Amino acid sequence: MTDTNPLVPTAIDLIWSGAAVVVLGVTILALVSLVRTRFDRGLAFLGWFVLVVALPLLGPFLWFSSDRRKAATAARR
């Protein structure tokens, strides 16, 4: 008897596993960037944190494309 799953081919399993690793990596990068950014209010940080964690692909995309991150970085200088 073989140990392979007859319902899911190996290639599809590898593709989904790779996609999960990429989503996890992007989410972690967004969280690190979020923690390193200074916020005027804690509520803004909490909102972004919940967005990034609750929507693992859309949240980091919105965080990296938002002007909030750029404005906070410019204010630091």
What digits encode the pLDDT tens for the residues 34-59?
A: 999 888 888 999 999 999 999 999 99
Q: Per the domain annotation, does 41 fall within a domain?
A: yes
Q: First-to-last CA distance in the chain?
A: 64
Q: Per the domain annotation, does 2 fall within a domain?
A: no
The whole domain housing 18 covers 10-76
User: Which residue in this structure is represented by tokens 């630091």?
Assistant: 76
Residues belonging to the chain: 77
- For the cut 80, the answer to whether the pLDDT of residue 5 exceeds it is no
Q: Per the domain annotation, does 71 fall within a domain?
A: yes
- Residue 57 is given by DSSP the state T
Q: Per the domain annotation, does 33 fall within a domain?
A: yes
User: Higher-confidence residue: 72 or 26?
Assistant: 26
Please give the model's pTM, rounded to 2 decimal places: 0.75
30 and 63 in contact (C-beta within 8 Å)? yes
Q: Per the domain annotation, does 69 fall within a domain?
A: yes
* Other residues' Cβ atoms within 10 Å of the Cβ of residue 63: 22
What total of structural domains would you count in the chain?
1
Q: Per the domain annotation, does 3 fall within a domain?
A: no
Structure tokens at 60: 């980091």
- For the cut 70, the answer to whether the pLDDT of residue 21 exceeds it is yes
Q: Per the domain annotation, does 39 fall within a domain?
A: yes
Mean pLDDT score across all residues of the chain: 85
Q: Per the domain annotation, does 15 fall within a domain?
A: yes
37 and 69 in contact (C-beta within 8 Å)? yes
